[in-house]
Structure 1
Amino acid sequence: MILRNYTPFPPLLFDGRDVQGRDFAVLVLRGTFDIIPGAPLRPNPTQQPIVESDVWHGEPNYSSVYMESDLAPFKPRTDILVNAIAHAPGGRPLPDWQVGIEVGPIKKRLRVTGPRAWVREGGEWKLEDPAPVTEVPLRYEYAFGGIYKSNWGDEHIFMRIPWAWDSSRGRCRATWIDGRRRRLKAWTIRWWSLARNIVRRDLDPLRDPGSRD
């Protein structure tokens, strides 16, 4: 295959495989545009390169994703990612205000607040009032609920998993167990028939790795 790119956007071509084990080609074009109020989008003279792996705001897996990889083998629709900073109206410090974004018929609104935390007073937990600020980064770390910081270290934990007894000896209906077994057996048969075909093709020593037969 010969790829001729007549656009200003950086391209990338790679192989993919569908659920039936059939190979197909994926072409990625990444475009960088300038957003001008009241005017159509305009290509930026400096095009950003294709993102081949996720980019994080901070330490990987301990901070939110700033930019996801562009290497999606199949994407029938469009993702709208907002990496922005909410500025208080008039530039004056406020404890909270509303912000929003509109893309065609899609409208999203949210309320941003200044920093606040849960504090323990008299044996009860109380949510502090937001501190007045002039800007708030729109990031998952500042979303409702925030993050939990363990007292035993400096690692951030995004979700606390409650501890519970092992239920392996718990009682349940025999009809429920039989139904789960039938569904599991049917799923296993379908998965194995698909996986076996894919593995057999991959390991076939007589098959040209570059062929699409």
Structure 2
Amino acid sequence: MSLVRVQNFSVSLDGFATGEGQTLQAPFGHAGERLHDWMFATRWGRAMLGRTGGSGGVDDAFARQFADGIGAEIMGAGKFGPPGWQDDPEWKGPWGSNPPFHTPVFVLTHRPRPSVEREGGTTFHFLDASPAEALATAREAAGGRDVRLGGGPTMLRDFLAAGLVDHLHVVVVPLVLGRGVRLWDGLEALERDYDVESTSSPGGVTHVTFTRRAV
């Protein structure tokens, strides 16, 4: 069976995956882009922005795993747009005409709308569903390939609490946000179900991977 994966998910030292005060101009609130500077400094990240250069090494190797073997993505409403996007029938996400997913993407929202097809193979579908129901739908669309959980942190907590995540890659960034939305709340002893490894990077971040233990 295909795996359920989280890739390149950044958190601060105090566990926040997004800051407070999210808007269209500041999708990560007061955190800005600081949680993701490590990724966009890599060769892979700069290529995603249409630029050349960037660093290789550990950070680049982890960043490149984002798309390998992925057949569909599930994301929360907060990743698809800032608060209130459901009230704008013309909103199609913040990624422009050619989003970086290139697969079916299932957006979890209590206010579904018709699917939105974009360039490059990305089609956004909107579901009001439980984690298990959404995963069943995404797995069917993925055609045997893996399903990526794209966040945000509230949605990831729900999938982790339901025991649906096979591989979790968290990047701990050396900054303290103090406020926002935390990833780990309510997930006490999560590590018992996983083999946990950490890899430090010369760039200052730590890559922590959780791989589900075989039953």
TM-score range, shorter chain: under 0.3
Larger radius of gyration: 1
Higher helix share: 2
Q: TM-score, normalised by structure 1?
A: 0.20
User: TM-score scaled to structure 2, two decimals?
Assistant: 0.20
